[in-house]
Structure 1
């Protein structure tokens, strides 16, 4: 009669072949790595801009929902305007310089609805290059 231990499956894994394969792969990588060229990307180049970017016109929405306009190109202080005056002034500035950007800055306590109203007025008047001005922390 045979003993019970001879019919038991072997519970150990022979790791020697795995170690051999790992060492062969390691040698292959060590030999080929110095031969590889690092990837270089040839980026396209562009010429310098012909005109410097223009300073934006800033539409300011105050806490009481009144509007003010500030031209960063000149050293003028902000001056209060109505919605119609704001559009007329911006259209005149953009007629003189089509690349004139417009930014909207609002007090943080102003409702979002008021900002959207100003953006809507500017969009209906085909004012181009409108953005939002934020303050970084």
Structure 2
């Protein structure tokens, strides 16, 4: 049955998948993620002290309130992705408001290693005035332990 439109040397169906478009898409996604990943790590630039310690157990799935003191001595409150610069006088008011909305939220302090000890102690005293009974201190493991 050889008609005018049927040629004997026709192509057979391919039994393999062409992966070139898939590779192109993956490379584009890789470039996009490489560009956007550094933008996702936002926060206060703080050089944490390096000590050996056990990590704090997750009490619940509550996102902690993180109060940071940077190298210049400025204070910041972070809750989730929201990071707000505040004065020492406003920290107690803001922490009280957050704890009223979300009781049981852990409070952590990130203090730059170059900040005077008295400034971190003043911050912890302010948190105690706000009614925070338990404050965690954030540090980094020494090189070689992490």
TM range (shorter): 0.5 to 0.7
2:73–2:115 Cα contact (<8 Å) kept: yes
Paired residues, what number? 84
Q: Which contiguous aligned blocks of 4+ residues in structure 1 show a shift greater than 3 angstroms?
A: none
Q: Residue 92 of structure 2 contacts residue 129 of structure 2 at CA under 8 Å; is this kept in 1? A: no
1:89 to 2:89 alignment: no
Match of 2:60 in 1: 52
- Structure 2 length normalisation: TM-score? 0.52
Residue 122 of structure 2 aligns with which residue? 117
Does 1:132 find its partner at 2:137?
Answer: yes
Q: CA RMSD for the aligned pairs?
A: 1.7
Write out per-residue CA displacement over residues 40-96 of structure 1, whole angstroms, 9 at most, x where no aligned residue. Answer: xxxxxxxxxxx9331111111011111111113xx22x2210122221111111111
Aligned residues of 1:61 and 1:68 also touching (Cα < 8 A): yes
Seen in structure 2, the aligned counterparts of structure 1 residues 112 and 93 have a Cα distance that, compared at 3 Å, is same
Q: Is the 8 A contact 1:67 1:80 kept in 2?
A: yes
1:64 aligns to what? 72
Give, in angstroms, the shift of residue 134 of structure 1. Answer: 0.9
Q: TM-score, normalised by structure 1?
A: 0.56
Distance between the aligned counterparts of 1:64 and 1:111, measured in 2? 10
Unaligned runs of 5+ in 2: 1-58
Map of 2:7 onto structure 1: none
Once residues 119 and 92 of structure 2 are traced to their aligned partners in structure 1, the CA distance between those partners, rounded to angstroms, is 16
Structure with bigger gyration radius: 1
| Larger RCO, structures 1/2 (Cα 8 Å, 6+ apart) | 2
Matches within 5 A, 1:28-39: none
Shift of 1:136: 2.2
CA contact (8 A) 1:103 1:130 kept: yes
1:116, 1:67 → 2: CA distance?
13
CA contact (8 A) 1:101 1:128 kept: no
